[in-house]
Amino acid sequence: MRGDSAIPGADTPGSLRGQVAGKVCVVAGAGSGIGRAIAIRLAEEGGMVLCADLSANGAAATAGQIAADGGEGLDWVADVSDPAAVDAMVAAAADRWGGIDVLVNNAGVNIPRLLHEVPDEVIDRTLDVNVKGQIYGCRAAIPLMLARGGGRSRYAATARPPPFTPPSSPACGTASSAPAPPGPS
Ligand SMILES: NC(=O)c1ccc[n+]([C@@H]2O[C@H](COP(=O)([O-])OP(=O)(O)OC[C@H]3O[C@@H](n4cnc5c(N)ncnc54)[C@H](O)[C@@H]3O)[C@@H](O)[C@H]2O)c1
């Protein structure tokens, strides 16, 4: 499956081809949805992928799919709102493959509610996962990326209000960004 020209868009400008082979990738929130698709795609492109998720079953299923496709994946359970767990997640990839090149901060929660109805615990959880989790990931990964001359960090979050939210009412979602470390790769 790796390097297979059947990968949609693999030969078009902007393709990942050649950029991921041999790279160590950590995908947080790899247990389902977009994160699973990202993890599988990175592995198809020749990356070694730590598939991290709050859900042990989800992480294992993604890593299992990668293995079934002939790629290299490792499942890992982590709650990205826990800084120690994020440190351990990144360290696990570095211990296994010698460093880290790519961090995909995809883990996120999106609890569709009107802002004026959001309870404190939902606000806290959303910020802890969607904002702090991304910062924790970068904080853990950037020193290891810099040690290899650079790396890439990518984020996924939701800023668009859910469809049933009135246009005048901000939704309980977050978007965040952080600078990627400098470097050629
Ligand atoms: N689906 C969309 O239309 C859409 C649009 C814009 C942004 N996003 C964002 O993209 C990301 C993925 O979306 P999705 O639709 O694939 O969602 P999803 O719910 O299918 O996947 C999110 C994954 O993150 C995991 N996760 C949740 N909290 C976690 C935590 N604290 N620690 C570790 N893992 C955790 C979940 O177990 C799940 O496997 C989210 O951040 C979401 O906000 C999604």
List, for residues 104-126, the tens digit of each pLDDT value. 999 999 877 888 999 999 999 99
C-alpha to C-alpha distance for 117 and 115, rounded to whole angstroms:
5
* Residue 134: count of CB within 10 angstroms of its CB: 28
CATH architecture under which domain 20-155 falls:
3-Layer(aba) Sandwich (3.40)
C-alpha to C-alpha distance for 124 and 105, rounded to whole angstroms:
18
Cβ contact 49:30 at 8 Å: yes
List, for residues 14-39, the tens digit of each pLDDT value. 566 678 999 999 999 999 999 999 99
Please give the DSSP secondary-structure letter assigned to residue 171.
B
**Pocket-testing residue among 76, 109, 127, ligand 1, by greatest number of atoms within 8 A of Cβ:** 109
Say what the pTM is.
0.83
Sequence ranges of the domains in the chain: 20-155
- Main-chain phi, psi angles of 60, to 5 degrees: -65, -40
List, for residues 139-174, the tens digit of each pLDDT value. 999 999 999 888 877 777 554 433 333 333 333 334
Q: 129 in ligand 1 pocket by Cβ < 6 Å?
A: yes
C-alpha to C-alpha distance for 142 and 125, rounded to whole angstroms:
24
